[in-house]
Each structure stands twice: as structure tokens, then as C-alpha cells.
Amino acid sequence: MILNLTVLPGDGIGPEVTEQAVQVLQAVADRFGHQLQLQHKLIGGAALTAVNDPLPEDTVKACLSSSAVLLGAVGSPMFDKNPGHLRPEAGLLRIRRELGAYANLRPAVFFPALEGSSPLRAELVRGTDIMIVRELLGGAYFGQPRSIEGDPGSRVAVNTMRYAEHEVERIARVAFDLAMKRKKKVLSVDKANVLECSRLWRDVVTRIGKDYPDVKLGHQYVDSAAMLLVQRPTDFDVVLTENMFGDILSDQAGGVVGSLGLLASASVGGKVGLYEPVHGSAPDIAGKGIANPLGAILSAAMLLRHSFSLGKEAAAVEQAVSRVLSQGARTADLAAKAQSPIGTAEMGRRVVEAVK
């Protein structure tokens, strides 16, 4: 099979971690007889620096003409003072929209080898296997109007949280379909005691749930869900939630399983799937060669599974990650006090070896 990908390294640690993910994809392609075809394009701060646009037209075209997109991270403090549309993040939001990627799947799985890396006691976190299904194209991230106006000292800012029924319906179906292949549990997370958007959300999710009588549906307010996530992470199976709540809870889930650096994601539902680690650009450690590439590598595994239906290949990557972790490989974010950490490239190399 020809694996025709656009790679968007982006900013901060993005280029370092995607480089390792590409090496792993190459190793999988070699082992299973596929052919990797890559084109690298600019996004985020890297694109702003080059052409003053966080998502150049050329990048959009390349993504739309490939079979899947692998992204590193976007965001850089260099652009903190820029207006919204000239920030790196605007490029990420636009590519998600251009690709129609409304369903963001963020698995948070506990690796037994990492008992020492979670801040939680091993008996609490052992067995955690959560799939966060985050709505990605709606809510406050995209709602209009949005603005910041007025003179310093008396400025007023506005964002709009907005959801249409069909947007809730389609993401709910993704969550229920996934639950059918898992433990058949969906927890829908909202703030229906305060927000109209959430009351609509709960209403629609409940209606769609009737089409899935085998799935146990629960509802939880986001504040209480955040607490339960650290108290009883193993109770969770599929978590269905809107854009911003999903953003927050997925970082928290990363902390629960040991490090945000491990979390992968797939943004699907549109023409072309977009795969990116959940961690951001981490400007504080960029360029030091110490970032954890496993989130990017596991995102590449999701790419193989979701965009190419290459389940065996995806599993080979996931098993390789599991193996290097049980052999004691730890980047700085995972290393316990007594362990000496390895760098980004060395972690990538070990996964490549384990894939071969």
C-alpha cells in the first residue's frame, strides 16, 4: 500500500517528535511492505515566520490531496501579542475545520510499566483505559461573535459557545459506536446546570443513546467529572464531551496515566484524518532533544489504524512502545528520581528497533 502523508512538524518540540514518528512509520512500512510518501509543509508559528500566515494555502492543498496528515504541535510565545487570526493556534483550528475533522479521539491508556510515573497510587490507576471523544469543530473555539474591544482598562471580550443539534448528534454517534467495541459505557460530560449549550447537548445525547440500547449512558457535570477522573479513573470507558471540556479533561487524563507526553490523538470524521499528540509545543524544552516522542509515535499508530485500516501495523507500533517502556526506557517526563532519562532521538530509535 502507498501511505501518502502530509507532515506538519509545526512549532516547539513538534519537529523533534514528528521526526521520530516518521522514523517509526518508515520502519513499519519496511517491515510490512508498504511505501511511505511524504511531503512536509508549514503550519503555526513556523508558517507565520515564513509567510505571515499560520496556515498557508499550499499547506491546505497538500493536506487535502493526501490520505492522512501527521502534525507535531503549534504555538510559540513569540506570537503572544499577535491578534487572534495571526496566532499559531489559528492555523491549527483552521486545518481542523478545512479537513472537517469534528471527532477528536484521545485515548488515555495506562502502561503497566509506568506505575512509578503516575502521581496516583498504582492500585488506583492500574487498568485505566479511557477514550475521550472530544467534539472538535464547535463550541467556544469557533462560535461567533467573538471579539476584544475597547480601550485598555475598560476593554470587553466576548466569546460565544454555540452548538447545533446535528453537531451534537454526529459526535454522539462516534462515541456510541466506539463504546460498542469497548466496555459499552458512555459518560457524557457537560455543564447542563448552567449552560444552554449543555442542556441541548444532554438532550440530544440522550436521544441518540436510545439507538444504542446495549450502551450504558451516564451524564456528569464537568466539575464533578474532573474530580472522578483522578479518584476513580478505571470507572471511565468512553467520555463524550464538547470542545473545551475535552481539551481540559484530556490533559488531565494525561497526568493520570503518567505524562501528557504519552497521549495520542486522531481527528477524524472529515475528508482526511489529522493525527497529533495531545501535548502542545512545549517551548520551554524545545530544541533540547529531551521531549517525549511517544505521543507522536502513538498518533502515527492511530493514523495507520484509522486512515488506512492497517490494524496489524498499528498494533505493532503500540506493542513496540509497550516493550521499550517495560525495558525501562524513560524520557525526562517519565523518569522517576532514580532513573536516568534518555532523549527524544534515543527513545525513537528504541521504538524503531522494537518494530523491526
Q: Tell me how far, at minimum, the Cβ of 93 lies from ligand IPM, in Å.
A: 6
Residue 43 gets which letter from DSSP?
-
HEC profile for 155-202? CEEECCCCCCHHHHHHHHHHHHHHHHCCCCEEEEEECCCCCHHHHHHH
> Total binding residues for Mg ion by CB under 5 A?
1
List the x/- string, 218-257, binding to ligand IPM by CB under 6 A. Answer: -----------------------------x----------
| Among 19-27, 63-71, 135-143, 239-247, the segment contacting Mg ion (CB under 5 A) | 239-247
Q: Tell me how far, at minimum, the Cβ of 4 lies from ligand IPM, in Å.
A: 24
**Residue 276 binds Mg ion (CB under 5 A):** no
Active site residue 30: no
**Residue 264 binds ligand IPM (CB under 6 A):** no
Active site residue 191: yes
Active site residue 221: no
**Of residues 58, 203, 211, 223, which has the active-site annotation?**
223
**Residue 179 binds ligand IPM (CB under 6 A):** no
DSSP string, 24-35: HHHHHHHHHT-E
Of positions 75, 107, 209, 254, contacts ligand IPM by CB under 6 A: 75
CA separation for the pair 156, 350 (Å, rounded): 51
DSSP string, 101-119: --EEEEEEE--GGGTTTSS
> Total binding residues for ligand IPM by CB under 6 A?
7
Cβ-based nearer residue to ligand IPM, 80 or 214? 80
**Residue 247 binds Mg ion (CB under 5 A):** yes
**Of residues 190, 247, 275, 333, which has the active-site annotation?**
247
Cβ-based nearer residue to ligand IPM, 209 or 295? 295
First vs last C-alpha separation in the chain: 18
Going by C-alpha positions, the residue among 223, 274, 281 that lies closest to residue 252 is 223
Cβ-based nearer residue to Mg ion, 229 or 355? 229
Q: Tell me how far, at minimum, the Cβ of 99 lies from Mg ion, in Å.
A: 18
SS3 8: strand
**Of residues 191, 212, 237, 275, which has the active-site annotation?**
191
Asked if residues 225 and 236 have their Cβ atoms less than 8 Å apart, the reply is: no
CA separation, residue 188 to residues 96, 115, 193, 225, 270 (Å): 23, 28, 14, 9, 22
Active site residue 251: yes
CA separation for the pair 241, 64 (Å, rounded): 27
- Which residues of this protein are in contact with Mg ion, per CB under 5 A? 247
Q: Active-site residue numbers?
A: 141, 191, 223, 247, 251
